[in-house]
Amino acid sequence: MQYGLTPISKLLVTENNPYNQAPAVLLYTDPAILAPWQQLHRHVLYGENAVQSTYGKDLWQCLNDNPDLSKCFNAGMASGNPVDLTVVRKYKGFKDIKTLVDVGGGIGKTLETIISSYPHIHGINYDLPHVIADAPTMPGIEHVGGSMFESVPSGDTIFIKRIMHDWNDENCLKILNNCQKALLEKGKVLISDLVLQPSGGPPQLIDMMMMVLTDGGMERTEEQWRKLLTTAGFSTINFIELLQQVWLIEAVK
Ligand SMILES: C[S@@+](CC[C@H](N)C(=O)[O-])C[C@H]1O[C@@H](n2cnc3c(N)ncnc32)[C@H](O)[C@@H]1O
């Protein structure tokens, strides 16, 4: 009898595999990440945040206080992500960008993918200081530590992937207002996130994950995105479909 990897289990092979999902699987099955799901009822019944109910602090503070979990989280976020490759393939505006700031960019993998195809771009990877401390040196990328609720580094384009769905509208507006201040004239934000479709589907599960792991985070419909971005003062808003209900939203200052 012969044994071999199936097409699905090949996604867990780590070596030389741009689609490797093993770190993401390890993150989402980590006991520390699964424990708050046991408190989901407290969110539904009393409106409590499940991570707060479990640990007495929010997810970002938990990651700050637990270096091993933080490494696991950062690796999970950075693991083989077809969305990054699809953004590079489908978005034609990268050729005109001089400075691209990735807000909440983790350890810089998304910028690395973009800049490997567009080496003229100066990349600024911006995240919390404990995340930046784990970010490897990458050509063309400057790592900057700070909080997007305080300020955002300046550039002509700001990229924000899987960030807005971590926050409620009030906090999203604070982030977008800081982006507005940081953007050069006629600058734009590029948001990569889910756009919920009336037909439903897997994103609803991610919506539940945001409900459990974040404090007020949620997936949004196109109408909700338009309202948020218009309130933040963006004029032209374009939706570009990437894959499986993940979209790139281009909003011009
Ligand atoms: C869901 S991860 C997304 C990471 C990356 N953009 C990606 O798609 O792989 C959210 C990121 O937001 C960062 N973050 C959370 N609070 C932040 C803050 N106040 N300022 C900057 N980054 C923050 C986290 O450290 C984390 O890297």
CA–CA separation, 187 and 158 (whole Å): 8
In the chain, the number of structural domains is 2
Same domain? 180 vs 63? no
Is 144 found in the same domain as 35? no
**Consecutive H or E run containing 126:** strand 122-127
Range of the domain at 134: 81-252
pLDDT digits (tens, 9 = 90+) for 84-115: 989 999 999 999 999 999 999 999 999 999 99
Residues 26 and 137 placed together within one structural domain of the fold = no
What residues are labeled active site?
A: 165
Statement to judge: residues 204 and 140 lie in one domain: yes
Residue 245 shares a structural domain with residue 160: yes
**Least-confidence region, from 32-36, 195-199, 210-214:** 195-199
Can you tell me which residue has the tokens 């044994």?
3
Among the residue ranges 9-18, 37-46, 55-64, the one predicted with the least confidence is 9-18
Determine the pLDDT at residue 8. 81
Q: Output the pLDDT for position 230.
A: 97
Same domain membership, residue 203 and residue 99: yes
- C-alpha 148/C-alpha 168 separation (Å) is 14
Q: Which residues line ligand 1 (CB under 6 A)?
A: 60, 77, 104-106, 110, 127-128, 131, 147-149, 161-163, 166
Mean pLDDT in residue range 52-75? 96
Nearest atom in ligand 1 to the alpha carbon of residue 130 is 25
Residue 81 pLDDT greater than 80, yes or no: no
CATH value at residue 160:
3.40.50.150
Give the distance (Å) from ligand 1 centre to CA of residue 172.
13
Domain membership flag for residue 198: yes
Residues 229 and 165 in one domain: yes
Which of 163, 166, 206 maximizes ligand 1 atoms within 8 Å of its Cβ, making it the mutation to test the pocket? 163
| C-alpha 102 to ligand 1 mean position (Å) | 10
| Protein residue with its CA nearest to atom 27 in ligand 1 | 106
Burial class of 68 by CB neighbour count within 10 A (0 to 12, 13 to 18, 19+): exposed
- Average per-residue pLDDT for the chain: 93
pLDDT tens for each residue of 135-194: 999 999 999 999 999 999 999 999 999 999 999 999 999 999 999 999 998 899 999 999
- Residue 2 falls within a domain, yes or no? no
Q: Which atom of ligand 1 is nearest to the CA of 77?
A: 9
Last residue of a domain, one of 23, 42, 77: 77
**Is 1 domain-assigned?**
no
Say if residue 199's pLDDT is above 80. no
Q: What is the mean pLDDT of residues 121-128?
A: 98
Question: Does residue 217 lie in a domain region?
Answer: yes
Q: Are residues 113 and 233 in the same domain?
A: yes
Query: Tell me, what's the pLDDT at 202?
Result: 66
Mean pLDDT across 19-33: 91
Q: Atom of ligand 1 at shortest distance to CA of 160?
A: 6
Residue 114 and residue 94 in contact, taking contact as beta carbons nearer than 8 Å: yes
Average pLDDT over every residue of 234-249? 93
pLDDT band at 249 (very low <50, low <70, confident <90, very high): very high
Q: Tell me: do 166 and 147 sit in the same domain.
A: yes
In this predicted structure, the answer to whether residue 1 has a pLDDT above a threshold of 70 is no
32 within domain boundaries:
yes
My answer on whether 110 and 233 are in the same domain is: yes
Q: How far apart are CA 244 and CA 232, in angstroms?
A: 27
Confirm if 129 and 99 have CB atoms less than 8 A apart: no
Q: What residue's CA is closest to ligand 1, atom 9?
A: 77
Domain identity same for 69 and 115: no
221 and 139 in a common domain: yes
Cα dihedral sign, 192-80-156-186: negative
